[in-house]
Amino acid sequence: GTKIDNLVQIAHGVVLGKNVLLAAQVGIAGSTVIGDGVQFGGQVGVGGHLTIRDGVKGRGQTGITNSVDAGEFISGYPAIANSEWRRSSAVFRKLPEMRKQLRALEERLRKLEQQGSGIGDQGSE
């Protein structure tokens, strides 16, 4: 029941379970164990000497660098839970503006702390 699409590379010593689906350009490094019912979208890369347990789903272009527990749905590089990846990817494009805002807030805080320390010094006289 395992299906392997075109341009898939499976290295030495890899064990594939039953009903595994590997889409185009998936690469699996050596001595990795792939459990039953695992599904990898196109261009998923799996490091060597890992265990990908039953029912794992890897979204396209995921980079798997650690073993994965059964039933996980993973995305991104390095691979994390798909729900976390979706939230993170929504923030990525906002990071440059958020960085500017953080620097401005840090500068405001620094100035307020300097003013506050000046007031405290006067009160001790």
Catalytic (active-site) positions: 12
CB 85 within 8 A of CB 72: no
Reduced to 3 states (helix: H, G, I; strand: E, B; else coil), residue 33 is: strand
Reduced to 3 states (helix: H, G, I; strand: E, B; else coil), residue 22 is: strand
| Cβ count within 10 A of residue 6 | 7
Q: Which of 7, 55, 45, 15 is nearest to 32 (CA)?
A: 15
C-alpha distances in angstroms, 83 versus 70, 74, 87? 16, 8, 6
